[in-house]
Every structure is written in structure tokens, then in C-alpha cells.
Amino acid sequence: MLLEGIDHAVLGDPDAGETSALVMLVQQGVVMGASVGDSLAYVVDPSGQAQALSPRERHRPRIGTGFARPAGFGPLQLEGKLITRRAARFDERQLPGAFAVGLPLEGRASLAQHG
């Protein structure tokens, strides 16, 4: 409901456009959230394997259209680094070169350039 409310608020602003969004809660090693548009969440395990949390096939409708339908995920045990990215720029094969926000296993937020 949060993302749907934001969708309608953005729709009502004549200066605003469309965008994607991702919200997550990470608590006690568990992650859950929702996405709209092409914002994605992945967990990269210690061996380097990426697992998608948010669905990749739902790029539209986005925030600002009045028709956004968030797709939820979780709750899932977080066992690796949490990566967020826009789908238009994300390719799992290029993950080592990605610039992303990561949440390591210890739970401290970090901003890291991988590669």
C-alpha cells in the first residue's frame, strides 16, 4: 500500500514523472520488500552466486502512472550481500563491475564499487 500511495501522490504532481521504486525491511537477518517498475533486489551469496528477490518481468506500470502494482518478496533469510539495481542496467554476468548498495552479513550498510 505504501508504493501505491506514492504512485498516486506522484501522479497528482504536475512536475513529476514516472519512476521505479524498491522498499525493503531487513531485520534480524531476514529481508522482505516490494518493487515497482524496473528496480531490482538481489542477494549475492559468499560464493558469488546472485539470486533475484524481486521479479524481473514486471517493468510497467511504474510509479507516477496511477496504475502501479507492487510485487512483494520475502520474508527470506539473508545469507549474503544485498544488492539493489535498476533492471535496465543490470546483468548478472556483469555483477563484479556493478556499483551498488550492499548490506553485508554483519548488517552494516555499505556503498561499494565491486571489481
CB atoms within 10 A of CB 63: 24
- The tens digit of pLDDT for each residue in 14-25 reads 999 998 888 898
Average pLDDT score, the chain: 76
Closest CA to 102 of 76, 74, 71, 80: 80
Confidence at residue 9, expressed as pLDDT on a 0 to 100 scale: 93
Name the residue ranges covered by the structural domains of the chain.
2-113
CB 87 within 8 A of CB 30: no
Q: How far is CA 73 from CA 6, 9, 33, in A?
A: 19, 24, 5
| 33/75 Cα distance (integer angstroms) | 8
Q: What is the mean pLDDT of residues 75-101?
A: 64
CB 70 within 8 A of CB 62: no
Asked if residue 57 has pLDDT above 50, the reply is yes
Asked if residue 5 has pLDDT above 70, the reply is yes
